[in-house]
């Protein structure tokens, strides 16, 4: 189905951001416009989900060029769900930024950059073309380079140089992979690629290129190649770190899912086993990092890594159960990572330190903060009524079904370690002697509690209302597991040249 | 052509592995040229006419690699400019362009 709505989640934040650049001095206008733009793209994502449910996959051929010649945008249920959740989470982080980001950054284009980042993220989710995916990645990455270094403190500059260099090199590798794929198959459109690869069979050469692509997306998703993540996610201010933790790694994960369910699904004994091994190694190393550190920001950054490994484990199993689990878990993970980063950032701004040993007894003055942290911690570990539970059950079940008992076992073990690491924060921060009176605190929770409460509520609702969203996740899994649906939607029944 | 690409990659990798920030940036810039040439090579160096309507008889060149390269050049230009500014700022604030001396000062 052709649908012009698809382009709007890219266009709206982009144009709004550009308008905001013109009116640099008017911060109030910036705030209003950015709120409106994100809400609008959220509404459109919800509309798209509705249409996906009724009509199936929606496509748009830019400029009327038929695929595979033009650039095509494709919104299937998986993309639309991610679009919606992106809008919700970025809205919450934006609300948090209103109170916490500071005048200096606001007047240096913080809000336009934030919107450009969302443009890139949205674009990556709905593009139907490998090269366009590269372009959207770059839009997202360039904004993230600026956001991570904006403010110019020593830590930020040092970490941003590493971050920028890593990502520039991985972008080059991405281009190299694109060049090889174009040489082998003669096309870059996902649907057409899938057709061509299925026709000629996935030769050894194509498998190697697919592994090159896996390496690139692993760099972005912090799957195994996560050496850059703990440093660069602990450098920027809380609101930015929360968006990064929630969304940027998920874009890489989305790309891995798209490619390895749609195009390179013929040799699972090579590629998907490799993905499983990478996932397991990621989970183990992330868990060790999370347990070993005594600094809030580092613990949370390593928790991001554990989450990535776990989502990928679902893909590695390559069964309907496993993929269903991954879809649930990716949504849960976006919400809960944003939540726990915002909570951690609030604790740091209250106490003025990130070191667990220098804080205690916050629950006396901040009961709500404490209990919400507790909820987030339980949700992260997958305790039943909360949103993490279903994803964990399905992924574990999926890996067991596929015979990867080691993978499921590692997943369960590392989720216990993740629970230990966040409960460690909870116990050290909130229990014990209260020696920070409210006057001595270096920050306040005023105004920042609203977005945190929204996200906490969302994780509870997602857990309780899993039945309600199962209709949508089932559809998402159906299109992920049946590439022909995607191909049929893109070519609208015509035969591909 | 392929040899040239290989040479560019080798030089770029060598430069990225050095300590000085400016050399690292130059290294990324050289690798990017290598990548662009690679796309051109991989697209197939056909000798044909321009891909225009009305010239039906001639075999024509595939224009897509050029379009891809053009986009990649623009993006690379932006990232290199940003990276240069960032490293200049880092040099000003951190007082060094040696990546060895930048690491781990925990007193910030």
Contact A135 B35 (CB under 8 A): no
Task: Give the phi and the psi of residue B48 in degrees, each rounded to 5.
Answer: -150, 180
Partner-chain contact B39 A142, CB within 8 Å: no
Contact A390, A466 (CB under 8 A): yes
* Cβ within 8 Å of B, A 177-206: 178-180, 182-183
Of A135, A146, A157, the CB nearest to B71: A135
* Number of Cβ within a 10 Å radius of residue B42: 21
Residues A325-382 have pLDDT tens digits of 999 999 999 999 999 999 999 988 888 888 888 888 888 888 888 899 999 999 888 8
Q: Which chain B residues have a beta carbon less than 8 Å from that of A145?
A: 79, 82-83, 86
Whether residue B35 is predicted with pLDDT greater than 60 in this model: the reply is yes
* pLDDT for the residue A146: 93
Decide if B79 and A160 are in contact by the 8 Å CB cutoff: no
Of A131, A138, A168, Cβ closest to residue B83: A168
Residue A202 is predicted with a pLDDT of 86
Separation CA A298–CA A294 (nearest Å): 8
Cβ–Cβ gap B43/A182 under 8 Å: yes
All residues of chain B having their beta carbon less than 8 Å from the beta carbon of residue A142 are 75, 78-79, 82
Distance CA A72, CA A268 (A): 27
Whether A492 is in a domain gets the answer no
Number of Cβ within 10 Å of residue A446's Cβ equals 8
Sketch the domain layout of chain B as residue ranges. Answer: 2-46+60-102
* Confidence tier at B57 by pLDDT (50, 70, 90): low
- The range of the structural domain enclosing residue A344 comes to 4-486
To the nearest whole Å, the CA of B77 is away from the closest chain A CA by 11
Residue A416 contacts B, CB cutoff 8 Å: no
ipTM for the complex shown: 0.92
Mean pLDDT over each residue of chain A, to the nearest integer: 90
Position A496 in a domain:
no
Residue A145 in contact with partner chain B when CB distance is under 8 A: yes
In the predicted structure, residue A63 carries a pLDDT above the cut 60: yes
Q: Enumerate residues 6+ apart whose C-beta is below 8 A from A495.
A: none
Give the range among A7-11, A129-133, A185-189, B50-54 with minimum mean pLDDT: B50-54
What DSSP line would sit under A399-464, residue for residue? HHHTT-HHHHHHHHHHHHHHHHHHHHHHHHHHSS-----TTT-SS--TTTHHHHHHHHHHHHHHHH
Choose the closest CB to A154 out of B28, B72, B93: B93
Per-residue CA distances from B74 to A163, B67, B71, B77 (Å): 20, 11, 5, 5
Q: Residues A151-163: what's their mean pLDDT?
A: 87
pLDDT digits (tens, 9 = 90+) for A367-384: 888 899 999 999 888 888
- When divided into structural domains, chain A yields a total of 1
Q: Convert the pLDDT of each residue in A83-110 to its tens digit.
A: 999 999 999 999 999 888 888 888 889 9
Q: With an 8 Å Cβ cutoff, is A152 touching chain B?
A: yes
pLDDT higher than 80, residue A15: yes
Per-residue model confidence (pLDDT) at position A139: 94
pLDDT band, very low/low/confident/very high, at B108 (cuts 50, 70, 90) = very low
Nearest C-alpha in B relative to A141? B79
List the single best residue of A67, A127, A138, A161 to mutate versus B (max B Cβ within 10 A).
A161
Of the pLDDT bands very low, low, confident and very high (cuts 50, 70, 90), residue A207 is very high
For residues A193 and A183, give the distance between their C-alpha atoms in angstroms, rounded to a whole number: 12
Determine the pLDDT at residue A163: 92
pLDDT score for A261? 93
Residue A262: asked if its preceding bond is cis (omega within 30°), the reply is no
> What pLDDT score does A465 carry?
84
Alpha-carbon distance B86 to A359, whole Å? Answer: 35
Query: Is A497 within the bounds of a domain?
Result: no
Tell me how many residue pairs between chain A and chain B have CB atoms under 8 A apart. Answer: 90
Return d(Cα A23, Cα A21) in angstroms, integer: 6
- For an interface test with B, give the residue of A160, A175, A178 to mutate (most B CBs within 10 A): A175
- The burial of B58, by beta-carbon neighbours within 10 Å (0-12 exposed, 13-18 middle, 19 or more buried), is given as exposed
Tens of pLDDT along A271-312?
A: 999 999 999 999 999 999 999 988 888 999 999 999 999 999
pLDDT score for B107: 47
Is A306 part of any domain? yes
Q: What is B69-88 written as a DSSP string?
A: HHHHHHHHHHHHHHHHHHHH
Pick the CATH number of B2-46+60-102 from 3.40.50.740, 3.40.50.2300, 1.10.287.3510, 3.10.310.70: 1.10.287.3510
Nearest CA in chain B to A136: B75
Q: Which DSSP category does A187 fall into?
A: -
The nearest CA of chain B is from the CA of A217 a distance in Å of 18
């Amino acid at each position: 189905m052709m649908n012009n709505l698809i382009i709007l989640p890219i266009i709206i934040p982009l144009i709004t951001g550009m308008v905001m650049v013109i009116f640099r001095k008017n911060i109030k206008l910036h705030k209003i416009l950015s709120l409106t733009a994100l809400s609008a793209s959220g509404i459109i994502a919800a509309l798209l989900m509705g249409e996906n449910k009724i009509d199936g996959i929606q496509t748009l051929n830019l400029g009327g060029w038929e695929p595979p010649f033009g650039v095509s945008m494709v919104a299937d249920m998986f993309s639309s769900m991610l679009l919606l959740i992106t809008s919700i989470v970025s809205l919450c982080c934006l609300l948090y930024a209103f109170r916490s980001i500071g005048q200096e950054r606001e007047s240096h284009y913080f809000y336009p950059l934030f919107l450009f980042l969302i443009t890139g993220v949205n674009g990556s989710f709905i593009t139907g073309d490998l090269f366009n995916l590269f372009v959207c990645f770059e839009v997202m990455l360039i904004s993230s380079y600026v956001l991570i270094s904006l403010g110019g403190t020593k830590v930020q500059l040092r970490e941003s140089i590493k971050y920028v260099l890593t990502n520039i090199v991985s972008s080059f590798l991405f281009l190299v992979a694109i060049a090889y794929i174009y040489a082998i198959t003669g096309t870059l459109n996902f649907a057409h690629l899938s057709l061509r690869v299925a026709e000629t069979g996935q030769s050894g050469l194509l498998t190697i290129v697919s592994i090159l692509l896996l390496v690139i997306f692993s760099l972005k998703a912090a799957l195994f190649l996560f050496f850059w993540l703990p440093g660069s996610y602990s450098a920027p201010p809380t609101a930015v770190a929360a968006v990064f933790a929630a969304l940027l790694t998920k874009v890489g994960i989305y790309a891995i899912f798209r490619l390895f369910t749609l195009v390179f699904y013929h040799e699972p004994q090579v590629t998907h086993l490799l993905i499983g091994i990478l996932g397991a190694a990621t989970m183990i190393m992330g868990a060790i990092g999370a347990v070993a550190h005594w600094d809030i920001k580092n613990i949370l950054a390593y928790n991001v890594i554990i989450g990535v490994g776990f989502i990928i484990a679902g893909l590695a199993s390559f069964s309907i159960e496993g993929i269903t689990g991954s879809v649930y878990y990716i949504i849960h993970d976006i919400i809960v990572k944003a939540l726990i980063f915002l909570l951690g950032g609030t604790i740091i701004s209250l106490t003025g330190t990130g070191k667990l040993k220098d804080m205690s007894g916050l629950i006396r003055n901040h009961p709500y903060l404490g209990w919400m942290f507790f909820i987030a911690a339980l949700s992260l570990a997958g305790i039943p009524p909360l949103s993490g539970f279903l994803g964990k059950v399905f992924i574990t079940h999926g890996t067991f079904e596929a015979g990867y008992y080691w993978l499921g076992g590692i997943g369960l073990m590392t989720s216990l370690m993740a629970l230990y690491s966040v409960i460690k924060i909870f116990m050290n921060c909130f229990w014990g002697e209260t020696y920070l009176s409210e006057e001595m605190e270096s920050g306040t929770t005023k105004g920042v509690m609203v977005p945190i409460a929204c996200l906490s509520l969302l994780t509870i609702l997602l857990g309780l209302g899993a039945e309600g969203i199962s209709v949508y996740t089932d559809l998402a899994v159906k299109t992920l597991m049946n590439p022909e649906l995607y191909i049929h939607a893109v070519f609208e029944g015509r035969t591909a040249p | 052509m392929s040899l040239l690409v290989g040479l560019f990659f080798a030089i770029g990798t060598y430069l990225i592995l050095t300590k000085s920030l400016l050399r690292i940036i130059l290294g990324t810039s050289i690798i990017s040229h290598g990548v662009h040439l690679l796309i051109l090579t991989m697209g197939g160096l056909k000798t044909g006419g321009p891909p225009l309507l009305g010239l039906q008889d001639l075999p024509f060149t595939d224009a897509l690699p050029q379009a891809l390269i053009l986009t990649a050049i623009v993006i690379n230009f932006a990232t290199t400019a940003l990276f240069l500014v960032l490293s200049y700022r880092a040099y000003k604030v951190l007082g060094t362009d040696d990546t060895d001396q930048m690491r781990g000062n925990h007193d910030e």
